[in-house]
Amino acid sequence: MNGEANTIRGDAAAPAPITSDLRLSVNKDVHPITVDTRETLLDTLRERLDLTGSKKGCDHGQCGACTVLVDGRRVKSCLTLTVTVDDREITTIEGLAGGDSPHPLQEAFIEYDAFQCGYCTPGQLCSAVGMLAEAQDGWPSAVSEGDGPVVLDEEEIRERMSGNLCRCGAYPNIVEAIRRVAP
């Protein structure tokens, strides 16, 4: 997996980029923007809109550091082409807090020391927000048994958060922080 294929190169021999004019709704702000069709939502957020909270880890949908919410559902912004989401509402880590008040999950991550280097944390938080909404909607996971309401114990949280890696290994505290916020 070298990084070269990810780079949009501007050499003269390369075919001309194809662009699209669109309006992107991020954290309730609408941004008129011209994007290369190859641009991922992650790159648009970070490089064009200066929303650098979402992180690029693997850039292959495997680590979860780029997780954002699209219409309230968690997705990987590194696998989302920006041109595909101009009619969606995007929420990033910068949009989770209400004014000066951190989101309850953000407070819990601080209280339970749920990170070390912090690189995966924005993705963990956006993923946890989406995961709690899925559980609220009664969505099962691979470890759920029966048809009853979802009970977010440690096993459920670990399974439902498996799309977010933490190379510092802060998992025990991440699970604990989420458990404290889960109903």
Partner 1 sequence: MRPFGYQRAASTRAAVEAVGAGDGAVFLGGGTNLVDLMRLGVATPHTLVDVTRIAPATIEETAGGGLLVGGGVRNGELAAHPLVRRRYPVLSQAVLAGASGQIRNMATVGGNLLQRTRCSYFQDVTKPCNKRQPGSGCPAREGDHRNLAIIGHSESCVATQPSDMAVALAALGATVHVEGPGGPRAVPMPGLHRLPGDQPQRDTVLGPGDLITAVELPPLPLAARSRYRKVRDRASFSFAVVSVAAALEVAGGVVRDCRIALGAVAHVPWRAETAEAALRGAEATEAEFTRAAELELAGARPLPGNAYKVPLARNLLVRVLTDLAEAP
**Cα Rg for the chain, rounded, in angstroms?**
18
* Least distance CB 101 / partner 1 (angstroms): 26
If residue 121 lies in a helix (H) or strand (E), which one and from where to where?
helix 121-136
- The partner residues of 69 in beta bridges, in order of sequence, read 74, 91
Residue 151: CB minimum distance to partner 1, A = 16
- Which span (44-52, 96-104, 152-160, 167-175) binds partner 1, by CB under 8 A? 152-160
Closest CA to 55 of 89, 88, 93: 93
DSSP string of 84-126, one letter each residue: GGTTSEEE-GGGTSBTTBPPHHHHHHHHTT--SS-TTHHHHHH
Binding residue for partner 1, selected from 12, 13, 30, 142, defined by CB under 8 A: 142
Q: 106: exposed, middle or buried (C-beta count within 10 Å: 0-12, 13-18, 19+)?
A: buried
Closer by beta carbon to partner 1, 111 or else 139: 139
Question: What is the Cα–Cα distance from 38 to 17, expressed in whole angstroms?
Answer: 8
| Per-residue contact flags (x/-) with partner 1 for residues 160 to 179, judged by CB under 8 A | xxxxx---------------
Torsion sign (Cα): 177, 162, 88, 47: positive
Region binding partner 1 by CB under 8 A among candidate stretches 42-50, 92-100, 159-167, 169-177: 159-167
Beta bridge partners of 40: 81
Q: Does 122 bind partner 1 (CB under 8 A)?
A: no
State which amino acid sits at residue 60.
H
Binders of partner 1 in range 7-66 (CB under 8 A) = 8, 14-18, 20, 36-38, 40, 59-61, 64
**Residue 18, token pair as written in the block:** 């194809």
Per-residue contact flags (x/-) with partner 1 for residues 79 to 118, judged by CB under 8 A: xxx-xx----------------------------------
The residues binding partner 1 (CB under 8 A) are: 1, 5-6, 8, 14-18, 20, 36-38, 40, 59-61, 64, 67, 73-76, 79-81, 83-84, 127, 130-131, 134, 137-142, 144, 147, 158-164
